[in-house]
DNA sequence: CAGGGTCTTTACAACGTTGTACCAACGATG
DNA sequence: CATCGTTGGTACAACGTTGTAAAGACCCTG
């Protein structure tokens, strides 16, 4: 593999002149520039990024920390973050935490300032004090989850509002026994979505019935199916269900079908996330559709802001709210 | 950020002795070792991976090149590759090609030997000669697609056999008008799956009807729906369909429902890939289930083999076939 | 043609790490 | 006591790049 030295020898100039040509430095004599460019071409020179970064003190990589790539929402988000980061010539190193606090913590701790310039974290089980682990010099943006006590940049939609919109939609359909699937003991977004659900019911003058609020410790399809089966076994089953993500909703659709309950006639279902699969489920799924591309771009922008503005240490943490919409499909039609 | 030098000064030893302690070198006096370890702890030293790799001549990263993370199959595969690579302390840099030959080629070319130790590539549109772009010093493993002319390691299932199994399953159900969705002008796996489909029909003494073979230029849900709609509009529509991936099949299920055609009664459907969503579709999808974890592990193993065995340059390219099974669900029951 | 500025190039050091070579102390051996 | 091998430690160079400082070439002005 050719190095600057090799190219310099071939072109008959110093190493630094080659470096200057490679980096687009202005003041190089046309004659030398030509010879260097020829030498670059014949050697097929490619800069050693590692060495460059060692010298420059940055790495050119971002870390993207998320629970699991096999979960559609995170797969889609990861793809968009890759694209957004690529526009600024960042490589992306993806780390999976599998949603456990242990792995989230150790990943945060292992994120040496040497491997990456910044991190985008989609936490699931982190506590506020876990962020102490993190090197203070490295900017972090949190996606989705919004741990209030941590002074860290954050991007996401207004979960309370979105949940209210979703629940109100069910109210407007004339449903009166509206359940929620996805309550969670300490997941922040779950709490916010539950708040929005409650707010919508209260605004509509509907009672809050605790038996209509079902926990889900994981947000997989199976959990949604189990929760729905439970709801349908109640003496007075709901006539609508708001699920805190699309996977839960997909599971709920299946459980409904297996119980011979028609969606949306007997039970209307709303999801959250707008996974690609939700447009094709049977029936297709009404869902809250966050603007995922906007989330990805905002996250990258927040990082650029902290990196470019001298250290960005004493910038106040920002909280960017990205738009969302309610995508109405067959499951509530 | 503390460096070896800082730790050495604090412990009152040379830089190299600290380096020796960090790297577990045996012959360090207990007394010094203790002092160094204390200094390491108080400074919170973390090795600069970039510098280490520059010195050692390796990067500690793999590239994973695939079409799109938002496609469930690749999301799931990426997650498994991350885990498999993590077991050997490799970081994974993911690059999306969006399935275009241009981006696949430029990604291959940009894969300097400096950023990564090796690459795992899941090509979609690459031609054999595109691999010339690649630095010969960097090991590559291809997933799925098997471009015959390229002397490169490869991991995947036996696509011809798997397609035969899928099609034969439909034959055994008593279906006689079996269609295939997913033919593709130059995608290798498509050709192989078509071969397997043809072989199964021939073995069963069924005629090959060209109107039952539908192209799909992309393998998304929409393409499957379009193809199915087309098939159902034929004067003699099929009574079974083998789709070359699960997304096509999911689309086909929806098109069938929209045409008032019952699955599996009127048309049985088989997919390929066993996406997680396929166990929850309505009806759930019979599908070829490759052992994805085995693919991920084999790919990482092939890379380790090439890297460990001195240069691995003159090792014959290996072709690892991983197991698969037929997962029978409602769509053929 | 001396003086000054602008362009152009270069040698050197440094980023943080590790391999190599070498030196020093030590106990054991002859 | 000279020699040797083992153990423990160090100085230095090198990985490939770029910032700094300084030197050289050039052109203008008076």
**CATH number of domain containing A185:** 3.40.50.2300
Helix axes B72-86, A72-86, angle to 10 degrees: 80
How far apart CA A248 and CA A246 sit, in angstroms, is 5
Close Cβ partners of B141 (under 8 Å, ≥ 6 residues apart): B118, B119, B120, B121, B152, B153, B154, B155, B299, B302, B303
- Residue A271 counted as domain residue: yes
B15 touches strand C (CB under 7 A): yes
A56 touches strand C (CB under 7 A): no
- Residue of B144, B139, B191 whose CA lies nearest to B317: B139
Least Cα separation, residue B207 to chain A (angstroms): 32
Q: How confident is the model at residue A310 (pLDDT cuts 50, 70, 90)?
A: low
- Residue of B170, B171, B173, B131 whose CA lies nearest to B150: B131
B223 and B100 within one domain: no
Per-residue pLDDT averaged across A39-44, rounded?
Answer: 94
Which residues in range 268-287 of chain A are in contact with strand C, contact meaning CB within 7 A of any of its atoms? none
Structure-token match 């629940």, residue found: A167
**In this predicted model, what pLDDT tens digit does every residue of B170-198 receive, in sequence order?**
999 999 999 999 999 888 899 999 999 99
Secondary structure (3-state) at A112 = coil
Q: How confident is the model at residue A251 (pLDDT cuts 50, 70, 90)?
A: very high
Peptide bond into B233 cis (omega under 30): no
Least confident of A54-68, A195-209, B132-146: B132-146
- Residue A330 counted as domain residue: no
A111 and A139 within one domain: yes
**Domain hosting residue A122, numbered range:** 59-156+292-323
> Under an 8 A CB cutoff, do A69 and B69 touch?
yes
Which residues in range 23-52 of chain A are in contact with strand D, contact meaning CB within 7 A of any of its atoms? 23, 45, 47-48, 51-52
Q: How confident is the model at residue B310 (pLDDT cuts 50, 70, 90)?
A: low
State residue A88's pLDDT score.
87
* Total of domains in chain B: 3
A239 and A133 within one domain: no
Q: To probe the interface with B, which of A48, A62, A65, A69 has the most B CB atoms within 10 Å? A: A69
- Residue of B289, B290, B287 whose CA lies nearest to B269: B287
B194 and B147 within one domain: no
State residue B99's pLDDT score.
76
- Summary mean pLDDT of chain B: 91
- Residue A283 counted as domain residue: yes
B282 and B177 within one domain: yes
Could you tell me if B160 and B193 are in contact, meaning their C-beta atoms sit under 8 angstroms apart? yes
- Residue B52 counted as domain residue: no
**CATH number of domain containing B15:** 1.10.260.40
B87 and B172 within one domain: no
- With 0-12 CB in 10 A as exposed, 13-18 as middle and 19+ as buried, what is A3? middle
How far apart CA A224 and CA A236 sit, in angstroms, is 19
B277 and B130 within one domain: no
Q: How confident is the model at residue A100 (pLDDT cuts 50, 70, 90)?
A: confident
Could you tell me if B249 and B285 are in contact, meaning their C-beta atoms sit under 8 angstroms apart? yes
**In this predicted model, what pLDDT tens digit does every residue of B36-78 receive, in sequence order?**
999 999 999 999 988 998 898 888 889 999 999 999 999 999 9
B210 and B106 within one domain: no
Secondary structure (3-state) at B102 = helix
Measured from the Cβ of residue B57, the count of other Cβ atoms closer than 10 Å reads 10
Measured from the Cβ of residue A14, the count of other Cβ atoms closer than 10 Å reads 13
Complete DSSP assignment for B144-194: S---TTS--EEEE--HHHHHHHHHHHHHHTT--SEEEEEE-SS-HHHHHHH
State residue B148's pLDDT score.
64
**Is pLDDT of B128 > 90?**
no
Could you tell me if A270 and A249 are in contact, meaning their C-beta atoms sit under 8 angstroms apart? yes
Residue B290, H or E segment: strand B286-290
A230 and A122 within one domain: no
Secondary structure (3-state) at A303 = helix
B296 and B283 within one domain: no
- Residue A53 counted as domain residue: no
**Is pLDDT of A323 > 80?**
yes
Measured from the Cβ of residue A148, the count of other Cβ atoms closer than 10 Å reads 7
Task: Give the C-alpha distances (Å, rounded to integers) separating B294 from A328, B67, B155, B291, B324.
Answer: 40, 20, 9, 5, 10
State residue B130's pLDDT score.
73
State residue B156's pLDDT score.
95
- Residue of B25, B33, B26 whose CA lies nearest to B7: B33
How far apart CA B54 and CA A50 sit, in angstroms, is 6
Q: Cα torsion at B281, B186, B94, A281 (round to 10°)? A: -10
B-chain CB neighbours of A280 within 8 Å are 221, 225, 250-251, 254
How far apart CA A325 and CA B14 sit, in angstroms, is 61
- Residue A196 counted as domain residue: yes
> Under an 8 A CB cutoff, do A114 and B48 touch?
yes
**In this predicted model, what pLDDT tens digit does every residue of B20-39 receive, in sequence order?**
999 999 999 999 999 999 99
State residue A315's pLDDT score.
79
DSSP state for residue B57 in the 8-state scheme: T
DSSP state for residue B98 in the 8-state scheme: T
Per-residue pLDDT averaged across B248-269, rounded?
Answer: 97
A165 and A19 within one domain: no
State residue A151 phi and psi, 5-degree precision. Answer: -80, 75
Least Cα separation, residue A70 to chain B (angstroms): 4
Residue B274, CB half-sphere, CA atoms under 13 Å: how many? 16
Close Cβ partners of A332 (under 8 Å, ≥ 6 residues apart): A169, A170, A173, A240, A264, A268, A269, A270, A286
- Residue A136 counted as domain residue: yes
How far apart CA B171 and CA B180 sit, in angstroms, is 13
Least Cα separation, residue A201 to chain B (angstroms): 30
**In this predicted model, what pLDDT tens digit does every residue of A156-178 receive, in sequence order?**
999 999 999 999 999 999 999 99
DSSP state for residue B87 in the 8-state scheme: T
Task: Give the C-alpha distances (Å, rounded to integers) separating B105 from A229, B66, B124, B148, B233.
Answer: 50, 12, 11, 18, 39
State residue A200's pLDDT score.
98
- Residue A214 counted as domain residue: yes
Pairing type for strands B324-327 and B286-290 reads: antiparallel
B270 and B201 within one domain: yes
């Amino acid at each position: 593999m050719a190095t600057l030295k090799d190219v310099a020898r071939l072109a008959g100039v110093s190493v630094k002149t080659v470096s200057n040509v490679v980096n687009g430095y202005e003041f190089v004599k046309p004659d030398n520039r030509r010879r260097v460019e020829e030498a670059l071409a014949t050697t097929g020179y490619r800069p050693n990024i590692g060495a460059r970064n060692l010298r420059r003190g940055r790495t050119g990589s971002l870390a993207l920390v998320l629970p699991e790539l096999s979960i559609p929402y995170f797969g889609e988000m990861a793809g968009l973050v890759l694209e957004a980061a690529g526009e600024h010539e960042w490589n992306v190193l993806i780390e999976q935490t599998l949603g456990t606090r242990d792995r989230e913590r150790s990943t945060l701790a292992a994120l040496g300032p040497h491997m990456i310039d910044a991190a985008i974290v989609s936490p699931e089980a982190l506590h506020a004090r876990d962020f102490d682990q993190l090197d203070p010099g490295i900017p972090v943006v949190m996606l989705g989850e919004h741990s209030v006590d941590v002074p860290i940049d954050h991007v996401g939609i207004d979960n309370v509002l979105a949940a209210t919109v979703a629940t109100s939609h069910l109210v407007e359909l004339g449903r009166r026994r509206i359940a929620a699937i996805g309550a969670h003991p300490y997941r922040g977004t779950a709490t916010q979505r539950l708040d929005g659900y409650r707010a919508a019911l209260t605004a509509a003058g509907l009672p809050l019935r605790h038996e209509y609020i079902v926990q889900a410790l994981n947000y997989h399809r199976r959990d949604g199916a189990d929760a729905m089966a439970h709801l349908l076994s109640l003496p007075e089953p709901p006539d609508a269900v708001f699920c805190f993500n699309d996977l839960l909703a997909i599971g709920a659709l299946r459980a409904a079908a297996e119980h011979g309950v028609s969606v949306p006639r007997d039970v209307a279902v709303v999801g959250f996330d707008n996974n690609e699969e939700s447009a094709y489920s049977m029936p297709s799924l009404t869902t809250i559709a966050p603007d995922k591309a906007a989330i990805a771009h905002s996250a990258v922008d927040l990082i650029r802001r902290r990196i470019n503005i001298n250290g960005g240490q004493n910038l106040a943490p920002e909280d960017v709210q990205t738009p969302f919409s309610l995508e109405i499909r067959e499951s509530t039609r």
